[in-house]
Amino acid sequence: MPKDLPVLTSAPVVRRDAARNREALLQAAAELIETCGVDDLTTEAVAARAGVGKGTVFRRFGSREGLMASLLNHREEEWQASVISGPPPLGPGAPPMERLLAFGASRLRHHREQAALIEAAGSTWGENYAVLGFVSLHVRMLLSQLGVRGDLGYLSTALVAPLAVPVLRQQIDAGGMSEAQVVAGWNDLVARVVAQPSDTRSS
């Protein structure tokens, strides 16, 4: 894995009590989402469950969107860790094609599971280019290992784009496709990119 892979980083170092409050709020938010869902989550309920004042939520996260984005960051870090050092085929140790196909299926599942949270985080999360940078660079690395030539930066972005939440919403929720169909379609797209005749690819 390239050393400059733009992984997400944890929040800056803060005072111990502030750090405790932050972790308590994130834990409370995660627990409440499990019981009431993202749409019905309120900052008042999170603060009450964490045993802090409502103002603490806004001091730590700025807004409800900021709270959702911070919780999402934590889950994204866990997913990225599975790519960087988890078991194969998603993690290291499998052939690049197996890793690439595992990436697509895993990213789709991750986005389906976190879709409501991603949407609740709004632009606070949508403008997090470190996430797109990580997944695009990972795909680019695997394409390179597979011997794909051409504009790998563009190709990797093109492969990542169909796994975005709005696209999945349109295909699955509105279009009636199953997750298995979407994965199969993505796998077919990958196979076509990888199988390009070498004389049609630019270096």
Mean pLDDT computed over 149-171: 96
Tokens, residue 57: 């939520």
Give me the pLDDT at residue 48, please.
Answer: 94
Distant-in-sequence contacts of 90-96, Cβ < 8 A, 24+ apart: 92/1, 96/142, 96/145, 96/146
What pTM did the predictor assign? Answer: 0.81
| Greater model confidence, 156 or 125 | 156
Q: Measured between alpha carbons, how far is 178 from 52 in angstroms, rounded to an integer?
A: 42
Mean pLDDT (the chain) is 88
| Pick from 55-59, 91-95, 137-141: least confident | 55-59
Could you read off the pLDDT of 39-71 as tens digits, one per residue? 899 999 999 999 999 899 999 999 998 899 889
Confidence of residue 196 (pLDDT cuts 50, 70, 90): confident
**What are the structure tokens assigned to 1, written together?**
């894995």
46 phi/psi in degrees, rounded to 5: -65, -45
CA 37 to chain centre: 19
Domains defined along the chain, listed by start? 15-62 (1.10.10.60), 72-196 (1.10.357)
